[in-house]
Copies of this chain bind each other. A is one copy, B any other.
Amino acid sequence: MPDPSVGIVGASGYTGSELVRILSRHPAVRLAAVTSESHAGKRMSDIHPHLEGVCDLELVKAADLGAVDLVFLALPHGVSMDFVKTRANGGGRIVDLSGDFRLSSAAVYERWYGKAHACPERLDGAVYGLPELNRDRIAGAPLVANPGCYPTSAILALAPFLRCGLVSPEGLVVDSKSGVTGAGAAAKAATHYPSVNEDFKAYGIATHRHTPEISETLEAASGAAVELIFTPHLLPVNRGILTTAYARAKEGVTQADLEGAYEDAYSGEPFVRVRTAPPSIQAVRGSNFCDVFVKLVPETGRVVAVSAIDNLVKGAAGQAVQNMNIMMGIDEQAGLDMVPLSP
């Protein structure tokens, strides 16, 4: 039996190129097709010179994708849901890396994304693809909504404490710092080199679209309403998200309780490493690891949880392949054993 085939729709961006990096070395699937509306006719390595000799597939239009067993959608939000709507019948299973199928309802989507949802009928069937929380439901899902990069880092840092009732669901602060690839491959004034290098700033304060994704998932984990504030910042690095999250410990909670909650949640997880020193983005770069760390300040009962991921890997393409592995019944670590590149 031949290996299952997969395709990448929207392969010209960073997420698409990371999918190719991983899938071109995957032992159990075959990358059959890559699409790009604007670059159709060129080879992947024309757009991404580092892939010369690694993947020389020719880009085609999405309409010419053909039949594959699973499709990765590396499309902007808004575009993804249109594709899903069209592809609905007989198009194979889907891992969507956009934000289109991550929220609980079309109403919430419309409030945060500023447009009506084009395919609300598939929202209910979509599974939020964070394996550490939803592994069982991912396995059988026809459509997996791959989590956002910031939410992956925030949720893996905080969910164990909320699930165990160790911290208050109110007054959470999620202060996140992301590398520039999180803003995509298209040149913009905000990502012009001299505007980012030797600079640092906050943006989208209290208005970023990942806010409801974090809240809803933490609420699902904790079974209670969660109140949080989320502030993203732009770091002058290519890759990586570091999230520093603050919560208030419930009465009597100890450092050991917090560490125990991480241990319970992650000791069997291949991609989450519970660290004994504050994590750094360099230690996960290029890999599918999420490093987490927690510290209780006993005098004030404050909890500081820190997590680090590579936004393009565990925050996007790597997690998407992890979801694919689960969906296809392949070893979950297949193709994902990349050692972090440090320094």
A interface list, Cβ under 8 A from B: 14, 17, 21, 24-25, 48-54, 171, 173, 175, 177, 180-181, 185-189, 191-203, 205-206, 227, 229, 231, 233, 235-240, 242, 244, 246, 248, 273, 275, 277-287, 289, 291, 295, 297, 300, 302, 304, 306, 308, 337-343
Closest to A195 in B: B343
User: Knowing A25-B339, A227-B300, A304-B231 touch, does A242 contact B273 (C-beta < 8 A)?
Assistant: no
Give Cα A246–Cα B279 distance, bound, in whole angstroms.
23
Verify A187–B192 contact, CB threshold 8 A. yes
Verify B339–A306 contact, CB threshold 8 A. no
Interchain CB contact (< 8 A) of A199 among B52, B231, B280: B280
Give Cα A223–Cα B281 distance, bound, in whole angstroms.
40
List 7 additional contacts besides A181-B194, A205-B278, A205-B304; criterion CB under 8 Å: A54-B339, A171-B248, A180-B197, A191-B192, A198-B285, A200-B242, A205-B295
User: Knowing A194-B181, A229-B297 touch, does A237 contact B285 (C-beta < 8 A)?
Assistant: no
Question: How many copies, total?
Answer: 4
Closest to A274 in B: B52
Give Cα A287–Cα B80 distance, bound, in whole angstroms.
33
Closest to A303 in B: B229
User: Knowing A201-B280, A206-B297, A238-B197 touch, does A246 contact B229 (C-beta < 8 A)?
Assistant: yes
**What are 26 inter-chain pairs, A to B, with CB distance below 8 A?**
A17-B342, A24-B339, A50-B341, A50-B342, A53-B289, A171-B248, A173-B173, A175-B244, A181-B194, A185-B194, A187-B189, A187-B192, A193-B195, A197-B238, A198-B198, A198-B237, A198-B239, A198-B281, A198-B282, A200-B280, A201-B242, A205-B304, A229-B302, A231-B304, A233-B242, A286-B286
- A141 to chain B: closest CB distance in Å? 28
Taking CB atoms, residues of chain B closer than 8 Å to A297 are 206, 229
